[in-house]
């Protein structure tokens, strides 16, 4: 179809809204065309409207069940949180004999989205087998190895990616993050040589600056590391539109609408379903470390950072208020008027699709600290653990991380401090509004300095048997797809405690803002 080529051209130009309008017109004129619905689905997927993309993909699949259409449906389902269906189709497709490298690469991403990292690794290997010199497939293979704890393999594949595509800036950044570099084993000469100007490549400038900063810090060159860190952070902040006041307002609204009276009545506890252990707080506060310890128990499945609860909540919001434009600032108010039982059932259904059938499981999405009120309301059997760090260490760790499109408050000291204060106030609200022991608190500093005592007490509160062997996180073999994948391959260490003191003078403005 000529119209299809025009839509592809619009996508290549980045004209997403025009592509959506053109593809919608195409399906309106070709209601029985699988190709038209496939294109419409692909455009919606590119626009990250995954629920609508799934619906369009389902319509295409009802008209034709070719491999490409089934693959497209599978990835849309995985991205929209419909895990059970996505995994069913993905596992069927993985057994087919006519797949090509691109097909396997798509399946690898689906398995990654579903938290099935071993299956993601196997399908990524198949993609590389067909096209061993494809940098995209090599990159996916590197990330699958990282999630499975195969750090050496991940670095080797990232080196291959860089050799084939010297401007894959993300590959350099991920490589720098994957180990602690030394004076004689680092990439600093290479990184400084390829650092692009901000004008040449805004993304490249940010990512390579961050990579240089990380490796300079590893070798103890803290002042120079901070210089690159600050320049990269300032550049990234200039690239995004963001107002921290909006996030602060939402956190205050949560305290207002989800008050003690709202939290008083919860659903009845169903003892026959698995028990979630939510590990939450600010990013870079130790949630991955804590999950590795808790997940070492044979009675716990470590599931990593799951999008399932936010998706279940937003699914309910869209279902109930679909006829209205949903403004983000209204979500705290709307959250008190939802079908709470349906949210709980939807969440537990997603968990079941991921392979959890009984006992305990972890959900360590840090940003669920925003959802504590709803967790208490809809999942009364859940254990909630807030892991926290000393304010300056917490904020410095966030500032150093470079989160891509998430956590936009993290690149500016004033915004970072404002967000931290709002988060701290919200956590105080949850603690005061909920029954005693409903919200368990763990200090990262105490966890790494007195791990046995802290964990024994925590396990008792959760209702689990404690064994000191759970502290051997380097032997856990628990897959993780978080930024902390490299750290958990090492024994528990103390070097991150008080890390801000290495750049005390440079970090002083942030310290002053946190004290106010």
Task: Please list the residues that pair with 103 across neighbouring strands.
Answer: none
**C-alpha pair distances (Å), 375 with each of 108, 269, 299, 371:** 31, 13, 21, 6
**Cβ(476)–Cβ(143) below 8 Å:** no
- Using a cut of 0.85, tell me whether the model's pTM lies above it: yes
Residue found by looking up tokens 């150093």 in the block: 400
Q: What pLDDT, in 10s, does the model give residues 175-195?
A: 999 999 999 999 999 999 999
Checking if the pLDDT of 117 tops 60, the result is yes
Report residue 236 CA to chain centroid gap. Answer: 19
pLDDT of residue 440: 96
pLDDT of residue 490: 64
Structure tokens at 110: 């689906």
> d(Cα 341, Cα 189) in Å, to the nearest integer?
57
pLDDT of residue 323: 53
Report the percent of the chain where pLDDT is more than 70.
95
- Exposure string over 275-295, b if 16+ CB within 10 A, otherwise e: bbbbbbbbbbbbbbbbbbbbb
- 510: Cβ–Cβ under 8 A, 6 or more apart, which residues? 392, 395, 396, 399, 413, 416, 417
pLDDT band per the 50, 70, 90 thresholds, residue 21: confident
Domains defined for the chain, CATH in brackets: 245-478 (3.40.50.300)
> d(Cα 104, Cα 474) in Å, to the nearest integer?
30
pLDDT of residue 325: 59
Considering only CA atoms, which of 108, 152, 150 is closest in space to residue 130?
A: 108
pLDDT of residue 143: 92
- 508: Cβ–Cβ under 8 A, 6 or more apart, which residues? none
Checking if the pLDDT of 291 tops 70, the result is yes
Query: Average pLDDT for residues 97-110, to the nearest whole number?
Result: 92
Q: What pLDDT, in 10s, does the model give residues 137-156?
A: 999 999 999 988 899 999 99
**Cβ(75)–Cβ(120) below 8 Å:** no
Query: Average pLDDT for residues 485-505, to the nearest whole number?
Result: 76
> Degrees (nearest 5) of the Cα angle 339, 343, 349?
140
Structure tokens at 32: 């029985």
> d(Cα 381, Cα 182) in Å, to the nearest integer?
46
pLDDT of residue 15: 81
pLDDT band per the 50, 70, 90 thresholds, residue 328: confident
Structure tokens at 368: 């669920």
Considering only CA atoms, which of 503, 444, 460, 511 is closest in space to residue 286?
A: 444
pLDDT of residue 439: 94
């Amino acid at each position: 179809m000529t119209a299809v080529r025009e839509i592809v051209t619009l996508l290549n130009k980045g004209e997403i809204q025009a592509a959506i309008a053109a593809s919608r017109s195409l399906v309106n004129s070709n209601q029985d065309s699988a190709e038209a619905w496939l294109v419409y689905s692909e455009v919606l997927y590119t626009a990250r409207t995954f629920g609508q993309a799934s619906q369009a993909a389902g319509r295409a699949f009802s008209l034709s069940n070719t491999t490409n259409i089934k693959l497209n449906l599978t990835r849309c389902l995985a991205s929209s949180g419909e895990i059970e269906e996505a995994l069913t189709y993905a596992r069927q497709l993985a057994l087919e004999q006519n797949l090509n490298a691109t097909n396997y690469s798509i399946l690898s991403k689906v398995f990654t989205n579903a938290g099935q990292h071993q299956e993601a690794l196997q399908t990524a290997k198949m993609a590389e087998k067909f096209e061993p010199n494809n940098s995209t497939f090599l990159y996916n293979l590197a990330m699958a190895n990282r999630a499975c704890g195969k750090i050496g393999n991940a670095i080797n594949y990232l080196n291959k990616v860089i050799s084939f595509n010297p401007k894959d800036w993300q590959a350099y950044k991920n490589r720098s993050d994957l180990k602690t570099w030394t004076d004689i084993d680092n990439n600093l000469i290479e990184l400084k040589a390829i650092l692009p100007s901000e004008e040449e490549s805004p993304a490249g400038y940010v990512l390579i600056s961050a990579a240089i900063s990380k490796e300079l810090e590893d070798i103890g060159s803290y002042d120079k590391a901070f210089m690159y860190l600050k320049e990269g952070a300032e550049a990234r902040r200039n690239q995004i539109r963001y107002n921290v006041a909006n996030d602060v307002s939402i956190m205050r609204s949560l305290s207002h609408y989800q008050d003690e009276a709202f939290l008083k009545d919860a659903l009845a506890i169903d003892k026959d379903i698995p028990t979630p252990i939510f590990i939450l707080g600010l990013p870079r506060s130790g949630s991955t470390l804590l999950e590795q310890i808790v997940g070492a128990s044979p009675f716990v499945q470590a599931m990593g950072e799951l999008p399932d609860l936010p998706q279940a909540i937003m699914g309910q919001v869209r279902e109930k208020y679909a006829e209205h434009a949903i403004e983000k600032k209204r979500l705290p108010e709307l959250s008190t008027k939802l079908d709470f039982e349906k949210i709980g059932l939807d969440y537990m259904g997603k968990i079941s699709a991921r392979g959890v059938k009984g006992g305990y499981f972890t959900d360590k999405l840090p940003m669920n600290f925003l959802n504590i009120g709803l967790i208490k309301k809809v999942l009364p059997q859940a254990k909630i653990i807030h892991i926290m760090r000393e304010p300056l260490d917490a904020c410095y760790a966030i500032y150093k991380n470079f989160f891509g499109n998430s956590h936009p408050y993290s690149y500016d000291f004033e915004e970072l401090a404002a967000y931290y204060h709002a988060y701290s106030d919200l956590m105080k609200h949850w603690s005061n509004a909920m029954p005693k022991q409903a919200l368990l608190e763990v200090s990262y500093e105490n966890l790494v300095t007195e791990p046995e005592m802290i964990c024994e007490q925590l396990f008792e509160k959760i209702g689990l048997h404690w064994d000191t062997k759970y502290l051997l996180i380097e032997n856990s073999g628990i897959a993780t797809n978080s930024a902390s994948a490299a750290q958990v391959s090492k024994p528990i260490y103390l070097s991150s405690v008080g890390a801000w003191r290495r750049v005390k003078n440079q970090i002083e403005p942030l310290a002053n803002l946190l004290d106010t």
